Amino acid sequence: MKRLLLPLLMLVLFYSDSLFTAVLPDTAFNGKYVIVPRFFTVGLLFMSIFFDRNTAIKYGFLFGFLFDIFYTGILGAYMFFLPLIVYITSKLVKVLQNHLFILGFIILFGIFLLELIMFQLNVLIERTEMTVTQFASIRLGPTLLLNLIFYLLLALPLKNAFEKLRRIYND
């Protein structure tokens, strides 16, 4: 029964992205900004740091596939790039200190990379007409700010949850 806690936590984080988007009205901030919650990505990066990198890569692949099916319509975008972001982030953590303050920057960097890759992919297939400057001011900045707030609120609970889950899985 306890082994279901990890998939349940990740499912809640996955669903919280779309739930937050549904609750936040399009007219928030006068419709000037596009704010993208990346709560699942934050949780996935925490999983790679405090639980197990290989498991996080598998979850990134699986949930990336689900994200592609339900939200993007481009099969393979998130399915490939979420595990890549997990891998890059886990390598950065090994080079830098494993301190919550430093992790905040690393996780924001991971979200930055994901957003930038998705933007470039959308430019490549001509699904957006946004310039890089517009992207940075309308979408990237507000997205990073929202996810920073999420990180500040839930960094310690997520860290503790993944460390506890690691102990459960190792027993």
Domain layout of the chain by residue ranges? 2-165
Model pLDDT, residue 1: 75
Contact 136, 34 (CB under 8 A): no
Query: Is residue 110 scored above 70 in pLDDT?
Result: yes
Dig out the tokens for 1 from the structure. Answer: 């029964």
Q: Which residues of 17-49 are buried (b: 16+ CB within 10 A; e: fewer)?
A: beeeeeeeeeeeeeeebebbbbbbbbbbbbbbb
Give the tens place of pLDDT for each residue, 58-101. 999 999 999 999 888 788 999 999 999 999 999 999 998 788 99
Would the pLDDT of 27 be above 70?
no
Supply the mean pLDDT for the chain. 94
- The pLDDT value recorded for residue 48 is 97
Long-range (24+ apart) CB contacts under 8 A made by 42-45 are 42/13, 42/107, 42/111, 42/147, 42/150, 42/151, 42/154, 42/158, 43/9, 43/10, 43/13, 43/158, 44/10, 44/13, 44/82, 44/86, 45/85, 45/86, 45/89, 45/106, 45/107, 45/110
In percent, how much of the chain has pLDDT > 90? 81
Q: What is the pLDDT of residue 112?
A: 98
Q: 168: helix, coil or strand?
A: helix
